[in-house]
Structure 1
């Protein structure tokens, strides 16, 4: 990446955004980059679409997962923003920086977006962060230790389902009623019911309500 690149940073903590900018400004090839700050899903959504409408570009995006939702456009987290960025700017390199490391969430992000970087904030410091970003900018993929261990945990559990099943379980954990899940997942109600039955079969032997299902998933460390 050259000095004239545009970097979007989205985090709801302004001091975190400023820290990323200060550290990235010392990375070779990024010292003169144009940095776009965003502290909410709504503002990020607007910046992404404005840049696209102006035939601009975003070369690198740093995203938190936990962000205030912009429900009007079905943006509930950094994951939906990541999808929008990849839609508008397919060549943009995407780095998730998050405190979240639940196995199902990690699996969903990796399968949905395959970001160039997926980093637990607990795994980086002022010294390692710019080095990692430099490697990603130069073409590497990077997963921090916590993210890798989260992937391994899911493999150990031998969970037999796909990204839609994970999304269904995460939605139930967020309090979304089964009847409303088709608003979030592109599946029919009958398909969702079958998948939910499969999830229950694996986690609670097919017996129990949603509360017991989520309790089991949390006990196993999946969410």
Structure 2
């Protein structure tokens, strides 16, 4: 009996998506029938997800690149936000996260916030690993690539978890928005924002108190 699998691939590099598609179609099992939709940004992905739900044909598997440009309304600053949205609206879908970031705390953060069924570091990725990850995620999740597993095995002295509000603060600051104007974008007071910024400076070991340095350090570690 044919097993129909509906897939949404989200990446802003068309060549990469083409490679993923070809690999999956070439390595799928004979009983599997794959339908693959493509989105190049958060807005397209949300539209396709919502449409799949309204048609009662929800996606079974999502490939989500973390480094996506923000959505036009600013509600999503990366693929991480998109994956969190997918978790809410497509609770039965398997999520495979793909990222270039390979810092320990970034990896831990994604596992804590999204808990993906698949987690692949792009620099590790081969066609064989993508094919293995896809089949494992369908029938025996999770599947984590080598780099992810080695980071998870290391015990991290300071487990840096940046919550949603703090990531939004970092994102807005990186867009050049002044601290005093953050209140209109976040439903918290200015003193709460200042407290969070102080905490972020401690996390990223920013000594000079400058927003530019904070943004720089957060960007280096893949949070922006």
TM class, shorter-length: 0.7 to 0.9
1:155 match: secondary structure: coil
- In the other structure, the counterpart of 1:62 is 63
Alpha-carbon distance, 1:217 to partner = 5.6
1:13 and 2:3 correspond: no
Q: In 2, Cα distance between the equivalents of 1:43 and 1:179?
A: 32
Runs of 5+ unmatched residues, structure 2: none
Would the aligned equivalents of 1:94 and 1:116 in 2 still touch at CA under 8 Å? yes
Deviations 1:133-162 (A, max 9, x none): 211111321222333455678924x25665
CA 1:29–1:161: 2 relative to 1, 3 Å: same
CA 1:29–1:96: 2 relative to 1, 3 Å: farther
Would the aligned equivalents of 2:4 and 2:32 in 1 still touch at CA under 8 Å? no
Would the aligned equivalents of 2:62 and 2:94 in 1 still touch at CA under 8 Å? yes
1:24 and 2:24 correspond: yes
Deviations 1:17-39 (A, max 9, x none): 12212222223277412111222
CA 1:35–1:43: 2 relative to 1, 3 Å: same
Runs of 5+ unmatched residues, structure 1: none
1:114 and 2:112 correspond: no
Superposition pairs for residues 183-222 of structure 1, below 5 Å? 187-201=188-202, 203-204=204-205, 208-215=209-216
CA 1:85–1:212: 2 relative to 1, 3 Å: closer
2:97 match: secondary structure: strand
Would the aligned equivalents of 1:13 and 1:39 in 2 still touch at CA under 8 Å? yes
Q: In 2, Cα distance between the equivalents of 1:152 and 1:193?
A: 35
- In the other structure, the counterpart of 2:134 is 133
State the aligned residue count: 220
Q: In 1, Cα distance between the equivalents of 2:182 and 2:12?
A: 27
2:109 match: secondary structure: helix
Alpha-carbon distance, 1:108 to partner = 3.1
Q: In 1, Cα distance between the equivalents of 2:122 and 2:218?
A: 24
Would the aligned equivalents of 2:61 and 2:94 in 1 still touch at CA under 8 Å? yes
Would the aligned equivalents of 2:10 and 2:40 in 1 still touch at CA under 8 Å? yes
Give the TM-score of the pair, scaled to structure 2. Answer: 0.79
Q: CA RMSD for the aligned pairs?
A: 3.2
Give the TM-score of the pair, scaled to structure 1. Answer: 0.80
- In the other structure, the counterpart of 1:96 is 97
